[in-house]
Structures are given as C-alpha cells and as structure tokens.
Amino acid sequence: MRTDSAEPVRLKDYKAPDYLIDSVDLNVKLHPTAARVVSRLSIRPNPNGRPDAALILDGDGLIVKSIAIDRAAPADGVVVVSPQQLALANPPQRPFTLDVETEVNPTANSRLMGLFRSGSAYCTQCEPEGFRRITFFLDRPDVLSVYTVRLEASRAEAPLLLANGNLVEAGELATGEDGVARHYAVWHDPFPKPSYLFALVGGDLGSIHDAFLTRSGRRVALGIYVEHGKEPLAAYAMDSLKRAMAWDETAFGREYDLDVFNIVAVSDFNMGAMENKGLNIFNDKYVLASPATATDADYAHIEAVIAHEYFHNWTGNRITCRDWFQLCLKEGLTVFRDHEFSSDMRSRAVHRIADVRALRAAQFPEDAGPLAHNVRPETYYEINNFYTATIYEKGAEVIRMLKVLIGAESFSRGMDLYFERYDGTAATVEDFISCFAEASGRDLSDFFRWYRQSGTPLLEAASSYDASAGTFTLHLEQSSKPTPGQDHKEPFVIPVALGLVGPDGDLPLKTETDNAASAREIESGVFVLSTPQRTIIFRDVESRPALSILRGFSAPVRLDYAASEADLIRLIARDSDSFTRWQAAQTYASRLLTRAVADIGAGKSPAEDYDFVDALASVLTESADPAYAAQMITLPSEADIARDIGENIDPDAIHAARFGLRRAIGKGLSSHLHTVYARLAPDGPYSPDAAAAGRRALRNAALDLLCAGEPEEGAALASRQFASADTMTDEIAALGALAQTPGETREAALKTFYRRHAHDALVVDKWFALQAMLPDADTLSRIKDLTGHPAFSFANPNRVRSLVGAFATGNLTRFNAADGSGFDFVVEIVLCLDPKNPQVAARLLSAFKSWRTLEPGRKALAEAALRRIAVRDVLSADVRDIVDRSLG
C-alpha cells in the first residue's frame, strides 16, 4: 500500500540515453556556504537514441547562476530550468556545448550526498544519484564521460585539492579583494566514467605516501589522507592496499591504470567507503587502526574494505553498470573478489564460516521478510534502499556458486572474457553470465533464476541406508516460499557439495549412473539439483555413513536434514570439510536451543546434554587452529536461533535458552576453558595477522563461556584482563564479559573505558554499541540518556549506527521488548532523522524487517509502530519506500 502516487522505476522500461556527454569540464570554487560550480558539457545526440528527443538533465536542489549553449546566452524559452531539472525541448542535433553555473551550500548538506563537509574538509559522494546535487547532468551510469576538474580554494582552508585521475597542473592565484590567498589544482581522468564515480576533496589533511610498482613496471603513487595527527593509524590500510593491488594482478590479471591512487578518510559518511576513480573516499572507521584502538575484527574489515574499493577499479569502474538494476554486477562481484582476497590473506576455512554467519545474519532475514528482492531487482522506488545484503552478499554467493558449478578453470576463462569484452562499457548481468556460458560451454539460463527470483530456497534432504545392499540413498527436494510479487518460483540450480563420512573419515563416492555428468559429480563431490527433486544412490557403502551435506556452504539455501545426533558428533570429529564440521556443531547447538526455547515457553527447565559438551571438549583439546576452535565453540546468536525457529518468536525465551546453554558449557568445560585461557595469554609483540588474532579470538571465546559458567571466577579473570589489556580486542572483550552482570563493577569498568578513550570517536562508538546491546531491562533508558552524551551526535552516521543501530539490530530482547518501547524509540529516532539524513533513517527502519515472525503481542506493537510512520504526510522517498514495503 503506497499512500502517494509515486511510480517505480522499472527495468523493462530501460532505454538508451538520447544524448551522450563526451567530456565534462568542471571548475569548482570551494566555499563553506556558496560553492560555485561551472560545468561545460560536450553533448551530442546518441546514434542509438531517439532523434529530436528533448534533453532533460537531472538536478537536485541546485541554484542556477548562468547558462550558455555553444558559449552564447540561449534565447528565451530554449532552456527551462528548476532546482530539479534542466530541460531543452529542442536541443541541437549535432555536437554542442552546454555551460551551466550553479551554487551549492556544502555546510548545509546534512544528507551527505553531493558536495558536503566532514569537519572542515570538503568532499563528495555521488553514488548513486549525488552528482545531480552538484551540477545538472545525465546522472545515470550508462553515460560515460572524460572529466577535467579544476578546483579552487583558499590555501589556508584547503591546502589539499584532490579529484579523480592524474594531477596536471597546480598553482597560486592572486589574492582577492577579501585578502584570502587562493590556489588551484587541475585533475584529469582519461578513463570515461559515469557521474557516480566523480569525486573531489578539499581540505587541510595529513597524509602518508607509498608507491606500488605494477607488474608491467609502472609506478603508482599511493596516498592516504586523514585528520592531522592520525597518520600513523593509516599504516595498516596502506599495507592492505599494496597487498590488494598485488593480489589483483596474480589472482585476476588486473593491473592498476592511473599514475596515482588516493584514499581520503572522513568521519561523516553514510556508507563504508566509495570507489571513485583514483580517489576512494572512506568512512574513517575503515582506515584508522592501532592495536590499542582497533579490534582484530576491525583490522579484518579495513583489509576487506580497502581491497573491495580497490577491486572496483576493474569491476565497477572500467566495466560499470548499464543501470542501477545491475548493481550486483559490480557489488556482488566485488564482494566475491574481496572474500577471495581475504581468504588468501587469512584462513580460508575460518573466513568461509565468518562469511556464512554474516550472510545468514543479514541476508537471510531480508529474503524471508517483506523487504525481499531479487539479486537483480526489476523495480525500485528509491535506489538508495538497494544497497542491501541481497545485492552484496547474496550477489557474491551466486558468483561463488557459479564457480563451484562450472569449475575454477572455466570460471577464470569467463572472467578473462568479461574483462576483455566489456572493458570501457556499461554492462548488464546478462552480459556477465554470457561470458561464463561461453567459457564453460554450458547453458546457464536456468542458473539465471538466482538473479530473477528472491527468497532463500529450502533444501530438504532425507536418506536411508540399506546394509545388505550396501547402498546409501539420498533424496533431495527443493521448495521456495512466495516472496513479495513472486507467488510461484521455478526450481533453482543448486550445487550440493557433499561427502559420506565413515568412522575414520571420508568414504569414496560411487553412484550407479555412468555418464560424463555423473563422473564429473563423483569427481568433484558436487551434485546438482536443478529440478524440484532428485534421488542419488551411493553404492558400495560398507557401513552407515554420516552425511556431510552442503560442504563449504555450496549454495545459499536453508537446509533441513534430520541428521542423528550421533552423526553430528561424528561430523564434528571427522568431517574433512571444515565448514560442515563447524555446521554440525551449530546444528547440534541449534537443536538444543530450539528445544530449550520450547521448554521455557512451556514453563519447564531445559534438559542438559552432555554429549555436545563432550564434543566441544575434544574440539578444544584436539584443534590445531585456535581461530577455527573459536568458531566451533561460539554458539548461534539469538537472531540465528530466532531464524531457526522461524515464527511466533519470543525473544526473552531465546535469550534465556542461549544463556542457559552458555552456562552449561562454561560449567561443563571449565577446566578446558581455564587451560585454553592460560595457554593463550599474550606473548611477544603484537601482530594483527590471522594467527595472532585467532589466539585472541579463542581466548576471549573461552572467557565469555567462563563468565557464563562461573560468574565470579569469570569476572575476576575479566577484571584482570580489562586492567592489563594492551589490545582493543582484549580490552573490549573483557569489558563485554564484565558487562554481562549488572552492578557496580560493570558501571565502573564502563566509566574507566570511556575515560581511557574519550578522545577517540571510533572507540567511543564501541562503548555506545556495547551498552546499546545490554540485555537488561533498563537498557532503553540508558540509551536515551546516551543520546544526550556530549560524544553523541545525530548528525554523524557512525554515532547513530553505534547507538541506535546496534540497539535495533543487535539487541533482540530490548528492541523487541514486550511493551513495544523498543519499537517506539526506533520509530521516534527515524522520524527525527528523516528530514536530515533520509538514507540513514531508512536503513535504521529496515531493522523492522522480521516483525512478522514475532509472537502475536509483539507483532501487533511492531505493526502499530510502523503505521505511525506510514500515516505521516511528509516522509523522504527513502523512508516511505521502506515503511510501505515493510507493511506491504
């Protein structure tokens, strides 16, 4: 139900642009409240467009100062202009130039789209439709232009002037009448690009510099720009960048193409970072790190985001998207590439588990709720709302699946073909997939359903063993629930990687059919389910095997397989696949937790299970890799459990059940956990590498369980760790452990932490988030107080996310409090943020995406809260879109 008459944008209405803009010359005079932008566009009719069409350039809130066509003032009525549009009803049907001067106010720009200020610096954000907030343009990704940008500013205010491409000229200007010494710089980007990749930065920033020698011997100057005084905190980002550049050459054959690559870190940013050509702009959260301020997870994120934005240079910039429906063409593919990079830099096994955890936490609920959409959507009201886990994470999974399906070699040939054929163009997902069809000789038309159908398929598996015949029969069945606008679905092509695990490990696979396809399946262990069901009979199976299914998480599906608990224990001990081994432990835990939730709901106390605790004990004593062991002993989150249960959710019962199991494990494994904790005490100098991080992860996972099992001893360990920690990883883990128990100790530790880190906004964000996620009844009033804390600001997206976002997405019990207070609070914040920064407001609101799975009382309160937004007359397009779809 939409209350306004807005029409969506539809993929099927795509038309090539009627005009092209070959070059853009911008002259930008920076000023805090009245920046002047003079743009000269070289325009010509598109031979593939409609002749004599009107030319309509996009604008957004622009003040026009002057207009010229072919350098002359246009006659009256030739140009019709408003803040949102510049229209020529009868543009010349030959190449011509259009000069437009506009004025914008960067200081008043609270949406952080277009030209805005972060601190005293000027910067831009143009994806997806921010360039129109700077000047009039065909602001769509299939219009590629060569940009030359001249920047002018007060030398004192902005000694640094950056834009895309290479620096061609810089110098001083005569001091003006106002006595301000001004200077300028000219940047030229030879690679035609869409407007969303435009960027400029002006300001007074510190920097670090390095260089990278490409494999063909070109020297690229690297710069990272940060607030003065923070230069040392950019070292890890620089190191990550150089590793990413080298990796893209070896793994994908992609070399960097400009003479410079600059990264600027700003503290006010709606998203993580932006891949503007040659001038990436980052949320400083993904640049700044020191052992004392950044956790191991922060280091891993910095490495991943730096790589992600760098990889966009080929997947996004050199080959861009034809239209925004193709967003996954650059985002899914680039996430796939950054996952591969991180896997090569760190432990592939541990990384896969972390990626799947993240996919299930963020994407599965999206796919299961009212905001479900295709990896390649077909309509949208507000494109800003499609930077989602489905486009990014599921988009990456689909590509990963494609690689599993056609094999690494065909995949690599397909990628080469894609780069060769589409370089310099604005492509579609069909273009991309056609390269793999050609490279593999396979028909991928059914596979394409992953892009056209939303929702997570359910894969049901059933098996039987016939001892006398020595056969193991596996029956696979897929089904998909309706999702918004899609009642019926065609079967997905699901690669099911599997193995049969005997008492001593993997058994050889042998099936009865004898053809090329089945030989390939046997050899790879990947069985393809492309029909609603399929039965596979394995022969010569000597004893009943344990089925290890969906190895490596070979497809983004939900699995339903009634493995016996004995089989799960065998998999935990013996599975050769590290993912399914971890999954077996998660499945076991999830079963115990689901049962416990039911017991708690029925007023019974949950039964204990010693076999599971014993299995974890062996993991702790036998596992050689601490990072992996940490993943094994970390229980499913409350949200994971809620998803497994699926409906009629009572968050309090889930919290109680999870706490009960943590306590049982903490008690049952006490001596093992103490041993691990002592054995992994920090020794030697700090390293951010995966091995050192893994030791910290396991030690802190042990501490968490000890605190649940033995609150007093645990708290003593945590207090000692909190006092002596020399890494943020250990310090925040200790604080988190202490925060489990309400009282004086906790409050004192929170005070100490703030005093230690009050000067560092990114660390204070951790302090906000930790408090926002406390399960206590008084958390909401604590959060309300914190919104008045001097370190908090509604104008800064990182602050809002760390306090309100962490509450809405990371605090299952309090956000979904039975009295509706959590919903009301988030709604109030969304409404207050919406006029200032609709993108951040809309993202917060999407925390309601699973409201329909709640038990009836909470569900009614959530709906009432959403309706209070929906009835408002004045809402941004962003929030309107999310609220209407959430209720739809």
Whole-angstrom distance, CA of residue 634 vs CA of residue 662: 9
- Residue (244 or 274) nearer to ligand PHE, CB: 274
For residue 361, give the DSSP letter.
I
Half-sphere exposure of 346 (CA within 13 A, CB side): 30
Rounded to a whole number of angstroms, the minimum distance from the CB of residue 342 to ligand PHE is 15
Would you say 298 or 331 has its CB closer to Zn ion?
Answer: 331
With CB under 5 A as the contact rule, which of the stretches 225-233, 286-294, 333-341, 526-534 interacts with Zn ion? Answer: 333-341
Q: What is the rounded distance in angstroms from the CA atom of residue 31 to the CA atom of residue 106?
A: 8
- Under the criterion CB under 6 A, does residue 60 sit at the interface with ligand PHE? no
- Secondary structure element (H or E) that encloses residue 475, with its range: strand 471-479
The secondary structure of residue 635, as a DSSP letter, is P
**Whose CB is nearest to ligand PHE?**
271
Contact 629, 620 (CB under 8 A): yes
Query: From the list 100, 266, 274, 509, which residue makes contact with ligand PHE (rule: CB under 6 A)?
Result: 274
Separation CA 452–CA 160 (nearest Å): 46
Summarize the chain as % helix, strand, coil (round to 5).
45, 20, 35
CA distances 781 to 507, 821, 832, Å, are 57, 10, 18
Stretch of 133-141, 228-236, 328-336, 430-438 lying at the interface with Zn ion (CB under 5 A): 328-336
- Return the one option of Zn ion, ligand PHE, none that residue 274 interacts with (CB less than 5 to 8 A, by type): ligand PHE
- What H or E segment, with its residue span, contains residue 106? none
- Residue 268 binds ligand PHE (CB under 6 A): no
Question: How many C-beta atoms surround the C-beta of residue 83 within 10 A?
Answer: 12
Task: State the minimum distance, in angstroms, from the CB of residue 384 to Zn ion.
Answer: 14
Q: Select from 850, 841, 808, 802 the least CA-distant residue to 825.
A: 808
Q: How far is the CB of 28 from Zn ion (least distance, A)?
A: 26
Distance in angstroms (rounded) separating the CA atoms of residues 29 and 152: 5
With CB under 5 to 8 Å by kind, the binding choice for 109 among ligand PHE, Zn ion, none is none
Nearer to ligand PHE, 276 or 295 (CB): 276
Report d(CA 736, CA 603) in Å as an integer. Answer: 30
Contact region with Zn ion (CB under 5 A), list: 202-210, 325-333, 674-682, 818-826: 325-333
Residue number, 278 or 775, with CB nearest to ligand PHE:
278
Smaller CB distance to Zn ion: residue 272 or 601?
272
393 binds ligand PHE per the rule CB under 6 A: no
Q: Least CB distance from residue 593 to ligand PHE, whole Å?
A: 34
* Least distance from Zn ion to the Cβ atom of residue 321, Å: 11
Least distance CB 125 / ligand PHE (angstroms):
6
From candidates 260, 273, 328, 734, binder to ligand PHE by CB under 6 A: 273
The answer for residues whose C-beta is within 8 angstroms of residue 687's C-beta and 6 or more apart is: none
Sign for the pseudo-dihedral over CA of 183, 187, 193, 197: negative
Q: Does 304 bind ligand PHE (CB under 6 A)?
A: no
Q: Residue 31: what are its φ and ψ, rounded to 5°?
A: -155, 140
Q: Please list every residue from 104 through 133 that binds ligand PHE, using CB under 6 A.
A: 125, 127
Catalytic residue among 127, 129, 152, 309: 309
Q: How far is the CB of 127 from ligand PHE (least distance, A)?
A: 4
Least Cβ distance, residue 469 to ligand PHE (angstroms):
53
- The answer to whether residue 309 is catalytic is yes
Q: Which stretch binds ligand PHE (CB under 6 A): 272-280, 449-457, 480-488, 700-708?
A: 272-280
Q: Which does 135 bind (CB under 5 to 8 A by kind): ligand PHE, Zn ion, none?
A: none
Of positions 58, 275, 731, 878, contacts ligand PHE by CB under 6 A: 275
Cα distances (angstroms) measured from residue 494 to each of 337, 497, 532: 21, 9, 10
Q: Checking DSSP bridges between strand 260-266 and strand 219-226, what pairing results, if any?
A: parallel
Determine which residue in the list 37, 208, 271, 437 makes contact with ligand PHE, applying CB under 6 A: 271
| Cα–Cα dist 57/43, whole Å | 11
Query: What's the order of all strands across the beta sheet hosting 79-82?
Result: 55-58, 85-88, 79-82
What is the CA angle 167-168-173, rounded to 5? 100
CB of residue 706 vs ligand PHE: minimum separation in angstroms? Answer: 39
DSSP per residue, 370-415: TT---SS-SEES-GGGG-SHIIIIIHHHHHHHHHHHH-HHHHHHHH
139 lines the binding site for ligand PHE (CB under 6 A): no
Q: Are 79 and 86 in contact (CB under 8 A)?
A: yes
| Residue nearer to Zn ion on the CB measure, 331 or 609 | 331
| Nearer to ligand PHE (CB atom), residue 127 or residue 142 | 127
Task: Considering the complex, state which of residue 62 and residue 265 has its C-beta at the smaller distance from Zn ion.
Answer: 265
C-alpha distance from residue 669 to each of 3, 618, 706, 736 (Å): 57, 10, 8, 20
Smaller CB distance to ligand PHE: residue 396 or 665?
396
| 128 to 124, 275, 368, 380: CA distances (angstroms) | 12, 12, 26, 13
Which CB atom, from 62 or from 335, has the smaller least distance to ligand PHE?
Answer: 335
- Cβ-contact 840, 858 below 8 angstroms: no
Binding mask 360-379 vs Zn ion (x if CB under 5 A, - otherwise)?
--------------------
Helices 821-833, 779-786: inter-axial angle, 10-degree rounding: 20
Asked if 598 contacts 567 with a C-beta cutoff of 8 angstroms, the reply is no
Distances (CA, A) of 182 to 116, 156, 202: 20, 8, 12
CA 842/CA 217 separation, integer angstroms: 46
Contact partner, 798, from ligand PHE, Zn ion, none, Cβ < 5-8 Å per class: none
Shortest Å, Cβ 331 to Zn ion: 5
**Would you say 342 or 631 has its CB closer to ligand PHE?**
342
Sole window of 25-33, 49-57, 292-300, 326-334 interacting with Zn ion (rule: CB under 5 A): 326-334
Nearer to Zn ion, 274 or 715 (CB): 274
817 binds, among Zn ion, ligand PHE, none (CB under 5 to 8 A by kind): none
Q: Which stretch binds ligand PHE (CB under 6 A): 39-47, 269-277, 399-407, 859-867?
A: 269-277
Binding partner of 125, given Zn ion, ligand PHE, none, CB within 5-8 angstroms per partner class: ligand PHE
Contact positions with ligand PHE (CB under 6 A) in 318-337: 331
Query: Using CB distances below 5 to 8 A depending on partner kind, what does residue 212 bind out of ligand PHE, Zn ion, none?
Result: none
Q: Does 309 bind ligand PHE (CB under 6 A)?
A: yes
CB of 304 to ligand PHE, least distance (A): 11
Find the shortest distance in angstroms from Cβ 882 to ligand PHE: 16
Which of ligand PHE, Zn ion, none does 273 bind, CB closer than 5 to 8 A by kind? Answer: ligand PHE
The 8-class DSSP code of residue 362 comes to I
Distance, CA of 270 to chain centre: 13
Q: Give Cα separations from 132 to 240, 417, 515 (angstroms).
A: 33, 34, 58
- Residue 703: which residues within 8 A CB-CB, separation 6 or more? 677, 714, 717, 718, 721, 733, 734, 737
Binding mask 334-353 for Zn ion (x = CB under 5 A): x-------------------
Q: Are 18 and 46 a contacting pair, CB within 8 Å?
A: yes
The reply to whether 640 sits near ligand PHE by the rule CB under 6 A is no
Using CB under 6 A as the criterion, which residues of the chain lie in contact with ligand PHE when the complex forms? 125, 127, 271, 273-275, 308-309, 331, 387
Residues forming the site for Zn ion (CB under 5 A): 331, 334
Where in the sequence numbering do the catalytic residues fall? 309
